[in-house]
Amino acid sequence: MVRRYLAAVDRRYLVAGVVGAVGVAITAALVALKLGLLRRLPLIGPDPDHLIELRNERDQPQNVAVEYEVDGDGMEHGPWRIKPGEIWGVSRVTTPGTMSLTVTVDGETELDEETEIPIPDEGSSATVVTLHEAGFATSSLRFED
C-alpha cells in the first residue's frame, strides 16, 4: 500500500515536504532560542541536583564569566553577555562538597568565595549569583521541593 502511494506521488512533492518540515523545525527552534525558552531546559546530566544561576539586576548588559571547583573538579563558563533582568542557568553540580566560586564581570572579579553545596534528598538546590546595581555580586542558596 505504501509503495502504491509513493508511486502515485511525485517525488518532487515528497522532497519539498521534507525540506519544508525541516525548515519549520529549524525556524521554531531559532524562535524558541531567541525568546529564551530553550535556556530553561536541563543543562547537564539526567537528574542534576544543584544549579549555579546568574541574575543580572543591573540596567546594563554585563559580560559574565563563572569559574567553579568542587572537590578538585572544576569548570569555566563564559563569558556571556547577560542582558538586564535575565536569569541564566550556568551549570549543574551533582557532587556535594565545598565549592570554590569565582564570578568575573567585564574582566573584574566581583565574587570569590567558598560555599558548601547542599544536595537535598528530594527536590533541588541552587547557588544564585545576583549582580546588583551598586556594582557588586552576592550569592545565596535556594531550595525547591
pLDDT of residue 21: 92
Nearest to 54 by CA among 101, 95, 99, 120: 101
The CATH number covering residue 123 comes to 2.60.40.2630
* 48 touches 42 (CB < 8 A): yes
Cell numbers describing residue 23: 525548515
* 56 touches 85 (CB < 8 A): yes
Rounded Cα distance between 59 and 94, Å, is 33
Based on the structure, what is the number of domains in the chain? 2
Mean pLDDT value across the chain: 79
**Average pLDDT of the residues in 10-27:** 85
Share of the chain above pLDDT 70, in %: 81
Question: In the chain, what is the straight-line distance between the N-terminal and C-terminal CA atoms, in Å?
Answer: 52
Q: Are residues 50 and 25 in the same domain?
A: no
Q: Are residues 33 and 50 in the same domain?
A: no
Rounded Cα distance between 33 and 97, Å, is 33
Q: Which domain range does residue 22 map to?
A: 2-38
